[in-house]
Amino acid sequence: MNTTNLLEFDLEGLAAFCEKLGEKRFRATQLYRWIHQRGASDFSQMTDLAKALREKLATTAHVAALPVISQQESKDGTIKWLFDVGQGDAVEAVFIPEDDRGTLCVSSQAGCAVGCRFCSTGHQGFSRNLTTGEIVAQLWFAEHFLRKHLQRDERVISNVVMMGMGEPLQNYAALVPALRTMLDDNAYGLSRRRVTVSTSGVVPMIDRLGHDCPVALAVSLHAPNDALRNDLVPLNRKYPIAELLDACQRYLAHAPRDFITFEYCMLDGVNDQPEHALQLIELVRTQGVSCKFNLIPFNPFPASGLLRSPQPRVLAFARLMSEAGIVTTVRKTRGDDIDAACGQLAGDVQDRTRAAERMAARRSPAGQPVVLHRSRPRPAATPGAMKR
């Protein structure tokens, strides 16, 4: 018999499920705590639930993690999991420990339809949206695995970034209940400031998120003008920079933080020149969006035809931005030895969108990558993966 995976529900959904079983809604809170706070999946362990309810649950419901295909642990403590989501699709989640926090980078889709040039997920194409349960299962598994692994009784994961595979705002219906479970005090109780949705710029959904479930927002900007961003982030043709920044401004009225984080992947000779920094400064001044910039070292992969900007150029870029009064950080790479720096996930999906063909079509007739602004000869690319 098909039974329902209770990871699919936020508290409201679980209450409705309990009502269908003829139970009072408040039973859902007890059940929700058992599942998310204590990591329980066996209803017989849930001793403060009435026996009759436990028996009903045993025949109608289950709590299921995603099968783990692989787990890799870096020298620096970063852990990357590859989860099987069926039919040949796999998604990744990464735990990044730091002195004052533990961050889990979570996937929202198997693949991605946006097709950013610098992103290995984008090059793989899109298979399907994850369900709420598949999004939550990454956190549920990681949190309770890590408590045992690190022998900790208290919470290990303090921050979640929706920065894994997929464009979370193109899977909005599944995303919002998942965010609610992350935030709920009866589940993970994460602060809205510590849950970040990262988007390539789905403008209408930024507005909806601001009303439905405001959390911290990161925007994958990557270019200071529409011509360049159209090439790097194709969604820009639909929602150009001015519209995107207007949406960011509106979002700030609801956001738990008083700034938007702009992610900017540093690509050698493409978007890393002083004139690009000056254009960004002008853009921020004109639009007046309160923001911080996060410069991300690119992990090259051959199909992209792109390379990582040299570190001195990244630092010079950051200095120009900082001197103009824009808070700018350079992201530390983590988990390099397992190819798992935050937001650099590859996974493995059945492409249902012919992304490889579309990407190839964006190359020159000679089969060479389109080069936007090359400042100097490039060394050979090294294997790797990159997103955002």
Element (H, E) at 30: helix 27-32
* Smallest distance from ligand SF4 to CB 273, Å: 22
* Smallest distance from ligand SF4 to CB 3, Å: 32
* Of residues 177 and 201, the one with the C-beta less far from ligand SF4: 201
Task: Give the interface with ligand SF4 as residue ranges (CB under 6 A).
Answer: 112, 114-116, 119, 121-122, 165-167, 200, 220, 387-388
Choose the catalytic residue: 23, 92, 134, 263: 92
How far apart are the C-alpha atoms of 79 and 138, rounded to whole Å?
A: 13
How far apart are the C-alpha atoms of 89 and 166, rounded to whole Å?
A: 13
> What three-state secondary structure class fits 133?
helix
* Smallest distance from ligand SF4 to CB 124, Å: 9
Nearest residue relative to ligand SF4 (C-beta) = 122
Across the strands, what pairs with 261? 218, 292
* Of residues 33 and 387, the one with the C-beta less far from ligand SF4: 387
Across the strands, what pairs with 262? 219, 293
Told to judge if 342 belongs to the known catalytic residues of this protein, a careful annotator would answer yes
Query: Greatest CA span in the chain, whole angstroms?
Result: 72
Told to judge if 92 belongs to the known catalytic residues of this protein, a careful annotator would answer yes
Taken in order 221, 242, 229, 348, the sign of the CA dihedral is: positive
How far apart are the C-alpha atoms of 221 and 234, rounded to whole Å?
A: 12
* Smallest distance from ligand SF4 to CB 388, Å: 4
* Smallest distance from ligand SF4 to CB 81, Å: 18
* Of residues 27 and 387, the one with the C-beta less far from ligand SF4: 387
> What residue type is 185 in one-letter code?
D
Task: For residue 46, give both structure tokens.
Answer: 């849930």
* Of residues 6 and 94, the one with the C-beta less far from ligand SF4: 94
Q: How many CB atoms lie within 10 A of CB 365?
A: 5
Task: Report yes or no: 105 and 94 within 8 Å, Cβ to Cβ.
Answer: yes
What residues are labeled active site? 92, 342
